[in-house]
Structure formats: structure tokens, C-alpha cells
Amino acid sequence: MSVQTYTYDGPEELHALVGQVMASLGYVGGREVTCVGAAVVVRAAGGHLALRCTFRDGGAPWVSEAVLLGTKRQREAVKDCLIHWYDRFSGRGPSPWGTLIGVRPTKLVHHLFDQGLDDRSAAKTLEGTYHVAPETARRLVAMARLQRPYVTDRGRKLALYVGIPYCASHCLYCSFPSRLIGREGEGGFKAFRDAVLADLDDLKDLCRTYDLDVTSLYVGGGTPTCLPQAILQPILERLAGNFPHVREWTVEAGRPDTAKPEMLAMLRACGVDRISVNPQTMQQRLLDALGRRHSVADIYTMYENCRKLGFSVVNMDFIAGLPGQTLADMQENMEIVCKLHPENVTIHTLALKKRAPLFHHVLRAAVPPAEETGRMVRLCRTVLTAKGYLPYYMYRQKYMAASFANTGYALPGSISAYNIEMMEERQSVLAAGPGGATKFLARDGHTLEKVYMPKDVDAYIEALPEKMAQRRRLCAIIYGGEI
């Protein structure tokens, strides 16, 4: 997978748009003066835009330009030009995603449904307006139709996310700014715990004051189960006490080296019913290279313990496109999935991010080409759907090989409501903990009013009173009718 830099010279109001488009094509913006793979220049004059893009791959520069007349749909025209030009330059042909570049492609389908379009008309709109390939359009429409009961008539029902930004070690592919537990002292853990407890109590008071109903709860990270049990347990017990009516409660316990039997038993005793067992891959050589610090045998042991404890839904994550990974490796992963039969399986595609150690690591050269990763993704889809799994949510990331999507699969009756609710952004989502983003759905039913918590633990603790006050003001405006 190739990630190159690009430069931009043009109006500031188009900078973010161009950045999003170029990111979808595998380019990062930066100040590097070498290895620049593309240069985008925009000039505005008299209501027109002159657009020019130069692509380079070591040979002669490939240049194209256009004059975009008028002001209507200029942003769409800029996006379409850049994408179509890249398709011609790269020789890859049109992407199955057409000109869709957002991370939430099914959101568009829901908007089409809102307008009264049926499945066939929505698919035709995706194909005609956004140049989406017919098969991709069909999958998007089918997925959105499956999601529909989870995103309509939500009223004052909300989801709640709790961020635990700690990990036992830093995986090679991960760009998340987690804090390593080995570097945290007892005082730091207690300060973090007390801040999260205060955060959760404030959210409880908001829900009581404005008659809000938390129906799904997700504790993620990082790796929440890497925390000492004496720190994590009070947080989970407070969640259980503050939000007793949740119908789905997930905890990410993706690292088997952090999910000992006593930890899993505590999660179950608190009421957690959905758990993530995330091996990412089942080949020991790849786990070792990625810095996972656990064995394949540990994954089996953790899975068996989860079954014994009675978690109703087990999710397993896998990544396609890891350094040194082959199609045979993914075939083995899927064979293991078919044998274990977890209720949920999520297939991610490696996204090479600048803050991940892999970005500057020697193993970056071992990342499979996009064509091989594509074969892995298609293999997973074929095997999982043949075994009765339904693709029920997806999202895309920047710098993802060939603009693939991460896709969640579920056996019938085991769909994760939270994953749909969080991704489709058609209801309010509360968040506690560092890095959490509370998103209030405004009165117009579309706009999101957001409150972001700092990602750094110390900064979160310091900013918490101010952030809680900001969150409370927004809640009073949206749900209390204040102005």
C-alpha cells in the first residue's frame, strides 16, 4: 500500500475538501519537500474556479486541468475531477465507490430513504449521481435497509460511549494515543478513575433531568481490560448503577493477555453481555511482528472462558492487509471463525496512518499490495455470508488500501445496536472519558452539536469541569428548550 504526500495551493475554504479527497486516494498533506506524489492548485476568479492537478510516480508528470463555471456544485465538481483524474493517472479504473469519499457511506442511503426512495431508486441514484458500481450500490442499500429499525423514531433514546485510553503495549499498526499501563503510577490510575466516575455521575444527572434513555453502552479504548481490576471495576459498577436499563453493553477486551478469567467474570457480573475478543490475526508470526504480546493459544483460551461465563454475543476482529500477511493466512482465519462461530465478526482493512509505528517501520515494505488485500476482503465476505453472517454496518478510513471499508458481520439476532447508532449519527450519543465525543442531534434532526473530551488523560482531568458545563448547556438547549 502506497501513501504519498501532496501539496495544495488555493482558497482556504477548499483546503479541507481537497484534503479529504486526496486522503481517500492515499495521499497525505504535509510539509515534506521530497517524494511529493501530487500537487493541487485552485485559482478563483469571477465566480469560476481553475483547477489543476499534477500526479507523479517517478516518470513524467501527469497533468490535467479544468475550469469550473459558476458557483453551483463547485465543491462536488472539484471532488469529481480529482477522483476521475486519479483513476486515469493510476490506470486502476473507476473505484467501486465512485465519487463517495465519506467515512459513513450508508448515511447517504438513509437520506435517500428519508426522501421516500425505495431500494431500487436509491441504488439507481448511487449509480447515476455518485458513479457507485452496481454491486456496491446494492450492498449499501441492503445494509441501510437492515439498519433502518435502529435509526428511526429514536426520540430521547441515546447511546453511551466510555473511553479507556490505556493499553498494555503499542501495536505496530495502531495510531491511537493510548497511555501504557506500565508507565502509570497508582496515583495516576486513581485520578483517572475518579474523573471518569464524576463524568458518569454528571451524565446520569443529565439523563434524569431531561428524561433521556441510554439503551446501548460501549466501553472501548485502548484496551479497557488492561487496567487494574481495582480501577476498572468501580467504573463498571457505576455504569451498571447509573444506567440500569441498557439493552446492550459491550466491552472491548481485545487483548487476551489482559482478559484473565477473574477479569472476565467481573465484567459479566456487572452486566456486560457483549464482548470483543480481537485477535486481528491467528498466525503467531504475525502477532509477534505486530507487538501483540500474546499467543494464538491465549485467544482460544479467552474465547472458551467467554463462552463458559455466558456472554450472549462475542465479537472477533480481523485485519486484512497486515505486513507479511497472505491470502492463505486469511483463509485460515476464516476457517477458525467458522469453527468457533462467534456471533459477530468485524473485518478491518489496514489503514496506514502517520502516527502509527508502522508508518516509518521497515515492515511497511511487507504490506501486501491492494490487489492482494482486496482478495482477502472478498474471501472474508464470501465465507461469512455463506455461513449466514449478515453485513450490518460499515465505515471507511483515510489511507485505507484501495478505499476499502471496514465491515461488521452478525448472525441473525445478534446485531450490535451501538455500532449502527454510533456510525449513522441519527441520534444523540453521550461520551465519557478521554477522547470521548458527545454528539447531540439538534432540533433540525440533522445537525450534530459536539463536545470533545481531550485525548490525553491529564488534560481530560483538568478540563473535565469545563467540558461537563459545556455539555450541560448544549443538553439544556436541545432537550430543555432553552436558548
**Cα Dmax for the chain:** 70
Residues 6+ apart with CB under 8 A from 159: 214, 215, 216, 217, 218, 417, 418, 421, 422, 427, 428, 429, 430
What pLDDT is attached to residue 1? Answer: 46
- What is the average per-residue pLDDT within 395-408? 78
- What is the average per-residue pLDDT within 186-204? 97
What pLDDT is attached to residue 34? Answer: 56
Confidence band of 443 (pLDDT split at 50, 70, 90): confident
Confidence band of 376 (pLDDT split at 50, 70, 90): very high
Which of 19-28, 148-157, 298-307, 412-421 is the least confident region? 19-28
The yes-or-no verdict on residue 102 having pLDDT over 70 is yes
> What's the rounded Cα separation, in Å, for the pair 424 and 150?
10
Q: What is the pLDDT of residues 77-88, one digit of tens each?
A: 999 999 999 999
Residues of the chain with CATH 3.20.20.70: 153-432
Q: What is the pLDDT of residues 312-350, one digit of tens each?
A: 999 999 999 999 999 999 999 999 999 999 999 999 999
The pTM score is 0.91
Q: Which residue has the higher pLDDT, 483 or 480?
A: 480
- What is the average per-residue pLDDT within 427-442? 95
The yes-or-no verdict on residue 51 having pLDDT over 90 is yes
Number of residues that this document lists for the chain: 483
Return the DSSP state at 347.
Answer: E
CATH class of 153-432: alpha beta
> What's the rounded Cα separation, in Å, for the pair 472 and 48?
44
The yes-or-no verdict on residue 392 having pLDDT over 80 is yes
Residues of the chain with CATH 3.30.160.100: 4-90
Q: Is 124 exposed, middle or buried (0-12, 13-18, 19+ CB in 10 A)?
A: middle
The CATH number given to 4-90 is 3.30.160.100
- What is the average per-residue pLDDT within 137-163? 95
What pLDDT is attached to residue 400? Answer: 59
SS3 for 108?
Answer: helix
Torsions phi, psi for 163 (to 5 deg) = -95, 130
The yes-or-no verdict on residue 398 having pLDDT over 70 is no
